[in-house]
A and B are shown apart, each in its own frame.
Chain A
Amino acid sequence: MALMTGDEYVESIRRLKMKIYMFGETVDNPVDNPILRPSLNSVKATYDLAQLPEHADLMTAKSHLTGKKINRFCHIHHSTDDLVKKVKMQRLCGQRTASCFQRCVGLDSFNSVFSTTYECDRKHGTKYHENFLEFLKEAQEKDWTVDGAMTDPKGDRGLSPGRQADPDLYLRVVERRKDGIVVRGAKAHQTGICNSHQVLVMPTIAMGPEDRDYAVSFAVPLDAENLFMVIGRQSCDTRKLEGSDLDVGNREFGGVEALVIFDNVFVPNERIFLNGETDFSGMLVERFAGYHRQSYGGCKVGVGDVLIGAAALAAEYNGAHKASHIKDKLIEMTHLNETLYSSGIACSCEGSETASGNYLIDLLLANVCKQNVTRFPYEITRLAEDIAGGLMVTAPSEKDLRHPRIGPYLDKYLRGVASTPTEDRLKIMRLIENLTLGAAAVGYRTESMHGAGSPQAQRIVIARLGNMERKKALAKNIARIK
């Protein structure tokens, strides 16, 4: 198959019998659930776009394993050009969905597990890379969406995995059998998990020898026995139940996160990619985090493109677009957005080959990229809210707009420039609301802060890779200090 159409993807998810809870109930048909469907549509867009000739150059790649054309979300980067194209693809997907399209965690976990298993095998004589290649081949052939699951609940942040009051607060191996392992624990904040075919689990931190049972990586299908998920709430989520296109801001697309529980899940040997080799846990975490920090230099930029466009339209619709401060704010938003893009591109161009042959981004620049992402979208949303005016949070509902008696008043009093229909103005207000403090703000704001690691995690890497000794030597040289 290698490339599924969007519709084939939707049907493939429908066939999976996942155990999903939301609002205290099981969700038997997640595909058609109005709260979840927009998030499925965002993933579907990654399949639809791959079918279009005008996007094929970014959305598809040639598999280094089979030579077949595959979706770039299943690709192993083999050059800096591949890394650059990844960022551009993510920008495109962000532009088309104005939300988190969820599929990059899988891509980032593929690439980090690929190189880490190779190096682990070389040191320990294990067979994880072979296992992983078989999994990857199947993922490419079946065009899977894979959830990259790193974040454990972590309990007391001051304690290591083995010292927690409850040993399951980090996912761990609870039984080693001849044919595989049994794992117990959970992964938190899992993006797109209910829209994925498989989950690829990785450890969440570097570990010492005493944490052997926690240094585990593997893949299982999402309908695996004893695996279930609880969907996270999003701001304004139940608006999607009201049947209003206007009030949701983005009718078609959205993101989703869930807490995923592994309540004694069996993993067969051939799907294990790390099992006790604690010395490779840190490498896997660093590489996954690095790739994912690069990702945000693409996806958030694409969403930013939409928000900047929405702010510019809001100004046109209320007639303030010619004011110099409005123009300047739009320039500032663009400047911030393109700065994010610059570091996404820069860490890709400066990528290098790993021992396994795939390409890793420049880790310092990827961390700088993500550090900027923890700040700039907040400033961009601040400026968008400034330009939008208060109506973005005080506008009445679509039902009021359609009401035979009240509607004409709203149409009259909420109009900006005479030539723009009030309804169009309200649509842009709702889109800005959606992105800045509604359902999509989960992805555009808080995910920008914590996704791929909280700000301090990047600062630790920046401190380590910043080459301070050389900077001091340069200063001494200029100042003529011996």
Chain B
Amino acid sequence: MPKRVFVKYCGGCNPHFDRRALCLKLRTALPQLEIVEAHPENEHDFVAVLCGCRAQCAEHSELRGRSGKKLISAAGDYPLLEESIKKALLSD
């Protein structure tokens, strides 16, 4: 079973970048992982929190990633996110 990354979004009232496009980029870059945007559980292999601005208001306190959680709030931080996921889930 592929490892699962849960993408949690902020509500998107005034995002400075296209958060869903970044999610698609993740899917393309990491085809060996399952990238999900909606899931009823709180625990995942990894949690990626995509916030549209520096207010970072996404509610993610109850979400846990067994191998890590990373929040980004600018499109320029995408490489950091991809890197963190690779390191956490694909390093061996």
- List the interface of chain A (C-beta within 8 A of B): 53-59, 81, 84-85, 88-89, 91-92, 95, 302, 305
Contact partner, A58, options B11, B20, B37, Cβ 8 Å = B11
Q: State whether A92 touches B9 (Cβ < 8 A).
A: no
Assess whether B10 is interfacial by the CB under 8 Å rule.
Answer: yes
Which of the residues B11, B58, B59 comes within 8 Å of A92, measured between beta carbons?
Answer: B11
Given A54-B20, A57-B58, A57-B59: A89 and B38 within 8 A (CB)? no
Among A55, A56, A57, A305, the one with the most B-chain Cβ atoms within 10 Å of its Cβ is A57
* Contact call A54/B9, Cβ cutoff below 8 A: yes
Residues of chain B lying within 8 A (CB to CB) of residue A81: 59
A84 touches B57 (CB 8 A): yes
B12 part of interface (Cβ distance < 8 Å): yes
User: A72 to nearest B CB, angstroms?
Assistant: 9
- Beyond A84-B57, A88-B57, whether A56 also contacts B14 by CB under 8 A is no
Q: In whole angstroms, how far apart are the Cα atoms of A58 and B19 in the complex? A: 15
Which residue in A56, A85, A88, A95 is a CB contact (below 8 Å) of B9?
A: A56
10 contacts between A and B (CB under 8 A): A55-B9, A56-B11, A57-B10, A57-B58, A88-B11, A88-B14, A88-B57, A89-B11, A92-B11, A92-B12
Main secondary structure of the interface of A (DSSP, over half): helix
Question: How far is A56 from B10 in the complex, measured between Cα atoms in Å?
Answer: 8
Nearest CB of chain A from residue B35's CB, rounded to whole Å: 12
Q: For A91, give its contact among B9, B10, B13, B20 (CB under 8 Å).
A: B13
Report chain A residues within 8 Å CB of B58. 57
B24 to chain A, nearest CB (A): 12
- Asked if B11 and A53 make an inter-chain contact with CB atoms under 8 angstroms apart, the answer reads no
Closest Cβ of chain A: how far from B9's Cβ, in Å? 4
Q: Which of B26-75 contact A (CB under 8 A)?
A: 37-38, 57-59
> What residues on A are CB-neighbors of B38 within 8 Å?
53, 56
**A294 to nearest B CB, angstroms?**
15
Question: Which residues of A have CB within 8 Å of B37?
Answer: 53-54
CA distance A85 to B58 in the complex (A): 10
Distance between Cα atoms of A85 and B12 in the complex (Å): 11
Q: Is the CB of A53 within 8 A of B14?
A: no
Whether B57 contacts A54 by the Cβ 8 Å rule is no
Residues of B within 8 Å of A302, CB to CB, are 13
Which residues of the partner chain B approach A84 to less than 8 Å between Cβ atoms?
A: 57
B14 touches A91 (CB 8 A): yes
Kindly provide the distance from the CB of B15 to the nearest chain A CB, expressed in whole angstroms.
Answer: 8
Within the assembled complex, what's the spacing in Å between the Cα atoms of A91 and B11?
11
Query: Do B14 and A85 touch (CB < 8 A)?
Result: no
> Which of chain B's residues have a CB closer than 8 A to the CB of A54?
9, 12, 19-20, 37
> Which residue of A is nearest B8, CB measured?
A57
Nearest-Cβ distance from residue B30 to partner chain A, whole angstroms: 18
Chain A residue nearest to B14 in the complex (CB): A91
In the complex, what residue of chain A is closest to B36 when comparing beta carbons?
A: A53
Smallest distance from the beta carbon of B70 to chain A beta carbons, Å?
A: 17
Residue of B nearest to A88 (CB): B13
Which residues from chain B contact A53 at a C-beta distance below 8 Å? 7, 9, 37-38
* Minimum CB distance partner of B39 in chain A: A53
> In the assembled complex, which residues on chain B have CB atoms less than 8 Å from the CB atom of A91?
13-14
CA–CA, A15 to B58, complex, Å?
A: 37
Q: Do B14 and A59 touch across chains, with their CB atoms under 8 A apart?
A: no
Nearest chain B CB to A430 CB, angstrom units: 25
Would B13 and A89 count as touching, CB distance under 8 A?
A: yes
